[in-house]
Structure 1
Amino acid sequence: MQTEYFWIALAAILLLLDLWAMNSVLRSDKSSGTKAGWTALIFLLPLLGVVIWGVAGPRGVTKGPSSPEHSKG
């Protein structure tokens, strides 16, 4: 019974990592073909895809606020 909960928790963590990776890929400034390829890799090979993305994949855009009003600290 306890091992079932372990595998369910592991699957949930993997799902969250995959969703985070896909979100990061889709927010990147790469071409739509590159985004589609990375998304397909992460979707079709969840564990291996997220590991490969973690090493070599595109990251989300890290642009700052576009308005001076929002950049006040």
Structure 2
Amino acid sequence: MEIGTIWIIIAAVVIITQIWAIWHIIGSDRRAERKMLWVVFVVWAPILGVLVWLVKGPRAVKGREVLKEK
């Protein structure tokens, strides 16, 4: 496989994960301001943005809400 082909595959994977993250961010029940900040961060820093969103985003919020209910 050529180097150019590898970079195209990596770029496609990054774009697909960005679209997936943005889809979930927009579909969340958070305030519009928070959604927009996450979308801007994911678009501005694609790999880092998606990774941070996976850690701090939807799962972290749901976990805190479950702890508050108990």
- Length-normalised TM-score, structure 1: 0.76
Compute the displacement of 1:30 (Å): 0.2
* Residue matched to 2:3: 3
Q: Which structure features the higher share of helix residues?
A: 2
Q: Provide the aligned C-alpha RMSD in A.
A: 1.3
Per-residue Cα deviation, 1:6-64 (whole angstroms, up to 9, x for no partner): 010000000000000000000000000000000000011111100101111136xxxxx
* Residue matched to 1:54: 54
Shifted more, 50-59 versus 29-38: the winner is 50-59
Considering only CA atoms, is the larger Rg found in Structure 1 or Structure 2? 1
Give the aligned residue type for 2:11: A
Identity %: 34
Runs of 4+ residues over 3 Å off in structure 1: none
- Distance across 2 between alignment mates of 1:58 and 1:36: 14
* 5+ long unaligned stretches in structure 1: 60-73
1:27 aligns with 2:27: yes
